[in-house]
């Protein structure tokens, strides 16, 4: 707890000198075309849109808007590369190209990290230490599988599906591109990928890396645009598989569009995870985990711990410590290495979060925000918690996708489990306790794809990821991630 002396430090905020990451080493073009058939080409209707830096609302570049005709060009390029080169290439050779992508990405890691923070608003510490290294790790991991598919699927023969259409969101732009592209290539498929409208730049940089790695033209195609471009990929008859990560609403639209077609699909959708803290947990450690679970990446995390269930006997202590910790979080310039919470990704997302803050208060919740100052320009949200909320409240049930935590209490194990599972989602969960038996019981009872014990938001390419219920269909990552890109037959 804060003593009177260090309380002063909290009230005044932590005084750190600015430590901005340099942007001298990055190169951005003024305008980006579509990456089709191994080169950047103009969109057929010559339409471009701006991508901005959400921390200062300044334009970073203009980006092509792909029409249906452009998507068709990309799918044809992917098909030609699939039939002509990629599916026939010895698997060992395919693996070499994927390794090469991973290595070039590592060499250019600082550039990728800075661009990810500029375009999306996430703190440089995260893009530098999490997004970019994990993206490279995914390419390394799946490069290793390329010539070992016989061991991944013993006794069976794994054949590629063909052309994979891949659509990704704005919260982990480069990492989601890596999650999608790496297993598709390792299994012999070719790709048409669409990044989100607000964060296209690292995918376009990845296109440069792919060209530098010498991948045969058309193996990976990157088409930028908004929802309509995504829909054109989903509905294109030449696509054999759809891999989508995004909201449950768009996931439903896609599932309806694919019903009755021969296309295989995986959907990674929303979440409303509970962090369950028992009285016997290491409380300080749990508070750090709660903070990491919901304030990491501004809460723009599908598997964010956006609900806290805390055992009644320690609830006051946990909430007091959490409030104290929240005061020390630095909200501001994403490029500053001291920043804990960066910019909200877009004005639309900020409006959505603010509407939930209003709803939470109207529903009778008690809202508490840290007292930090916010920059004048850009999109910002203070770390926020709601106490006194009921299970039926919208801030408890619905995905907010911002730094907003709904806190409830429980008395018994069964009550905690029932409350944690009382959600349409089932992507992730967390359990904090000193007792291994409670961890096992909770992880077996929680209907969630990933459950972290005494930690939160940890990722690894070897570990499968995906949801129960309305959080999705299928798994990405690990061996399971290969399965989504192959058809299995007899040897
Ligand atoms: P979104 O609105 O569903 O968009 C996701 C992607 O789909 C974007 O590229 C989007 O394009 C595109 N899109 C929009 N409408 C489409 C349509 N009718 N057909 C095809 N594509 C379409 O989601 P978001 O707001 O970007 O991302 C946040 C959501 O993603 C959250 O719900 C979060 O939980 C989820 N998410 C899930 C995971 C997971 O692994 N389960 C991981 C990360 C995020 P534009 O953005 O360009 O319009
Ligand atoms: Mg942007």
pLDDT digits (tens, 9 = 90+) for 112-137: 999 999 999 999 999 999 999 999 99
Query: Which pLDDT score, from 0 to 100, does residue 8 have?
Result: 38
Each residue's pLDDT tens digit, 379-431: 999 999 999 999 999 999 999 999 999 999 999 999 999 999 999 999 999 99
What are the residues facing 145 on neighbouring strands? Answer: none
Q: Specify whether 93 is catalytic.
A: no
Q: For residue 471, which atom of ligand 1 is closest to its CA?
A: 41
Catalytic residue among 65, 126, 302, 470: 302
Residue-level pLDDT at 260? 95
Determine if residue 401 is left, alpha or beta; phi over 0 gives left, psi from -120 to 50 gives alpha, anything else beta.
Answer: left
Mind giving me the DSSP string for 72-138? HHHHHHHHHHIIIIITTS-HHHHHHHHHHHHHHHHHTHHHHHHHHHHHH---HHHIIIIIHHHHHHH
- Return the structure tokens found at 489: 């037959």
pLDDT range class, residue 264, cuts 50, 70, 90: very high
Is 351 catalytic? The answer is no
Q: From residue 50, how far is each of 54, 64, 155, 187, 270 by CA, in Å?
A: 12, 9, 50, 35, 27
d(CA 365, CA 368): 10
Model pLDDT, residue 2: 41
Are 442 and 448 a contacting pair, CB within 8 Å? no
CA distance linking residue 488 with residue 444, whole number of Å: 30
pLDDT band at 14 (very low <50, low <70, confident <90, very high): low
Rounded to an integer, what distance in angstroms lies between the CA atom of residue 450 and that of residue 27? Answer: 37
Distance from the CA of 247 to the center of ligand 1, in angstroms? 5
The model's confidence at residue 16, banded by pLDDT at 50, 70 and 90, is confident
| pLDDT for position 15 | 74
Q: For residue 264, what are the β-bridge partners?
A: 241
Distances in Å between the Cα of 44 and the Cα atoms of 38, 47, 222, 328 are 17, 8, 15, 50
Give percent of the chain above pLDDT 90. Answer: 96
Q: How far is the CA of 269 from the centre of ligand 1 (A)?
A: 8
Q: Where are the domains of the chain?
A: 31-269+471-490, 274-460
Atom 15 of ligand 1, residue of closest alpha carbon: 227
Tell the residue number behind the tokens 């129960």, with chain if given.
468
SS3 of 407, please?
strand
440 contact partners, CB below 8 Å, separation of at least 6: none
3-state secondary structure 46-89: CCEEEEEECCCCEEEEEEECCCHHHHHHHHHHHHHHHHHHHCCC
Q: What pLDDT is recorded for position 11?
A: 46
Residue 59 burial (10 A CB sphere; 0-12, 13-18, 19+): exposed
Which ligand 1 atom is nearest residue 302's CA? Answer: 34
Helix (H) or strand (E) holding 291: helix 283-295
Which DSSP letter does residue 337 get? T
Mutate to test the pocket of ligand 1, among 246, 267, 477 (most ligand atoms within 8 A of CB): 246
Q: Residue 9: is its pLDDT beyond 70? A: no
* Nearest-angstrom CA–CA distance, 363 and 65: 41
How far is 475 from 465, CA to CA, in rounded Å? 5
Dist. CA 329–CA 273, nearest whole Å: 22
How much of the chain, in percent, has pLDDT values that exceed 70? 97
How much is the average pLDDT of 16-34?
94
336-366 b/e (C-beta count within 10 Å ≥ 16 → b)? bebbbbbbbbbeebbeebeebbeebeebebe
The string of pLDDT tens digits covering residues 48-98 is 999 999 999 999 999 999 999 999 999 999 999 999 999 999 999 999 999
The pLDDT value given to residue 34: 98
CA distances for 400 relative to 296, 303, 390, angstroms: 14, 12, 16
Into which CATH architecture does domain 31-269+471-490 fall?
3-Layer(aba) Sandwich (3.40)
Arithmetic mean of pLDDT, 194-211: 98
Q: What is the pLDDT of residue 13?
A: 55
Residue 307 half-sphere exposure toward CB, CA atoms < 13 A: 34
Give dist(CA 164, CA 188) in Å, integer: 10
Return the best residue to mutate from 130, 131, 227, 398 for the ligand 1 pocket (most ligand atoms within 8 A of CB): 227
Query: Per-residue pLDDT averaged across 143-167, rounded?
Result: 97
CATH number corresponding to 274-460: 3.40.309.10
Query: How confident is the prediction for the chain on average, in pLDDT?
Result: 96
Pocket of ligand 1 (CB under 6 A): 167-171, 194, 196-197, 226-227, 230-231, 234, 245-247, 250, 253-254, 268-271, 302, 399, 401, 427, 467, 472
pLDDT of residue 20: 92
Residue indicated by tokens 């991973």: 102
CA atoms within 13 A on the CB side of 358: 6
Residue 17 pLDDT exceeds 70: yes
């Amino acid at each position: 707890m804060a003593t009177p002396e260090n309380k002063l430090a909290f009230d005044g905020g932590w005084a750190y000198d600015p430590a901005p990451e340099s942007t001298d080493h990055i190169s951005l073009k003024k305008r980006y075309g579509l990456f089709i058939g191994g080169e950047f080409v103009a969109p057929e209707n010559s339409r471009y849109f701006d991508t901005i830096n959400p921390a200062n609302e300044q334009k970073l570049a203009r980006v092509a808007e792909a029409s249906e005709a452009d998507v068709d060009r990309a799918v044809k390029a992917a098909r030609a590369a699939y039939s002509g080169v990629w599916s026939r290439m010895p698997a060992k050779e395919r693996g070499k190209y994927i390794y090469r992508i991973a290595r070039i990405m590592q060499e250019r890691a600082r550039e990728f990290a800075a661009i990810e923070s500029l375009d999306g608003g996430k703190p440089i510490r995260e893009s530098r230490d999490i997004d970019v290294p994990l993206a490279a790790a995914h390419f390394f991991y799946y490069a290793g599988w390329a010539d070992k598919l016989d061991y991944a699927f013993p006794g069976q023969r794994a054949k590629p599906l063909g052309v994979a259409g891949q659509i990704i969101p704005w919260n982990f732009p480069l990492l989601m591109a890596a999650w999608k592209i790496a297993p598709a290539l390792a299994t012999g498929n070719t790709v048409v990928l669409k990044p989100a409208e607000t964060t296209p730049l690292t995918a376009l940089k990845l296109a440069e890396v792919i060209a530098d790695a010498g991948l045969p033209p058309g193996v990976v195609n990157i088409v930028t645009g908004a929802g309509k471009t995504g829909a054109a990929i989903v509905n294109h008859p030449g696509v054999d598989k759809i891999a989508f990560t995004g909201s449950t609403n768009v996931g439903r639209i896609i599932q309806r569009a694919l019903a009755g077609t021969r296309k295989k699909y995986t959907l990674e959708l929303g979440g409303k995870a509970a962090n369950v803290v028992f009285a016997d947990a290491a409380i300080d450690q749990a508070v750090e985990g709660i903070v990491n679970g919901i304030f990491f990446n501004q809460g723009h995390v599908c598997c964010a711990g956006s609900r806290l269930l805390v055992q009644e006997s320690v609830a006051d202590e946990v909430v007091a410590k959490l409030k104290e910790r929240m005061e020390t979080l630095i909200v501001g310039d994403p490029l500053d290495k001291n920043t804990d919470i960066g910019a909200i990704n877009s004005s639309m997302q900020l409006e959505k979060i603010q509407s939930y803050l209003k709803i939470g208060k109207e529903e009778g919740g008690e809202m508490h925000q840290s007292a930090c100052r916010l920059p004048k320009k850009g999109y910002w949200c203070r770390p926020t918690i709601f106490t006194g909320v009921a299970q039926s409240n919208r801030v408890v049930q619905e995905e907010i996708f911002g730094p907003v935590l709904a806190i409830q209490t429980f008395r018994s194990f069964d009550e905690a489990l029932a409350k944690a599972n009382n959600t349409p989602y089932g992507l992730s969960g967390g359990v904090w306790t000193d007792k291994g038996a409670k961890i096992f019981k909770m992880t077996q009872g929680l209907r969630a794809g990933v459950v972290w014990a005494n930690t939160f938001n940890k990722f690894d390419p070897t570990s499968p990821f995906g949801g129960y219920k309305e959080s999705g269909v299928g798994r990405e990552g690990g061996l399971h991630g290969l399965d989504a890109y192959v058809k299995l037959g007899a040897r």
